[in-house]
Structure 1
């Protein structure tokens, strides 16, 4: 998995999250959950970006682990927004599938680097 693929996908995901947050505030008049998902959803890409400048493999893993946690938290907020009817099924499925894909990529990279360290 190329580093640039993760960077690109996490940036595009962040853009979707910003737009979702704007939609929730402007169209749905929802202000609390929109802030929560904005924080966690944009933190994924920020931590991925930080990992590019890691000082060691362990630092790299640590930064990606934070991105992983933020991505999983974002999945929680998406599910909550869906279950409380702020997102319809199509909206939820679309953005949640992007979040799940990111989560899988991040987990895979962490596992790969950990295996490389053990050798």
Structure 2
């Protein structure tokens, strides 16, 4: 996988989460978890781009470490949404994978 592929995939992930949030129920729990998910998921894409702009291998590795942490956090929020959601389970499973 080249750097363009990873940048495209992480941007698509961010966009998919944005669209999911827009369609989410307006209940307090969905909105609270959804905002947390928005922050972590969009950070995945942004930090991936930043990693490839790194000035050294060490800087790249540090930024990719942040990407991994944010992706893991996004997975946590998606799991919570899966467990409280009546709808969107299939879409959430696809995003988590």
**TM-score when scaled to structure 2?**
0.90
After superposition, give the CA deviation of every residue in 1:42-62 in whole Å (9 maximum; x if it has no partner). Answer: 000000010111011010000
Counterpart in 2 of 1:6?
A: 6
Aligned to 1:85: 85
> Following superposition of structure 1 onto structure 2, how do residues 70-109 of structure 1 map, counting pairs within 5 Å?
70-85=70-85, 87-97=87-97
Q: Distance in 2 between matches of 1:38 and 1:86?
A: 20
CA contact (8 A) 2:82 2:93 kept: no
Q: CA RMSD in A?
A: 1.2
* 2:33 corresponds to: 33
Query: What is the aligned partner in structure 2 of residue 21 from structure 1?
Result: 21
Instruction: Detail structure 1 runs of 4+ shifted over 2 Å in the superposition.
Output: 86-89
- Report how far residue 93 of structure 1 moved: 1.5
Equivalent residues of 1:81, 1:87 under 8 A apart: no
Q: 1:47 touches 1:64 (CA, 8 Å); kept in 2? A: yes
SS in 2 for 1:51: helix
Check whether the contact 1:52–1:60 (CA below 8 A) recurs between aligned residues. yes
How many residue pairs get aligned? The number is 94
Aligned-partner Cα distance in 2 for 1:35–1:88: 17
**Unaligned regions of 5+ residues in structure 2, if any?**
none
Gaps of 5+ in 1: 98-119
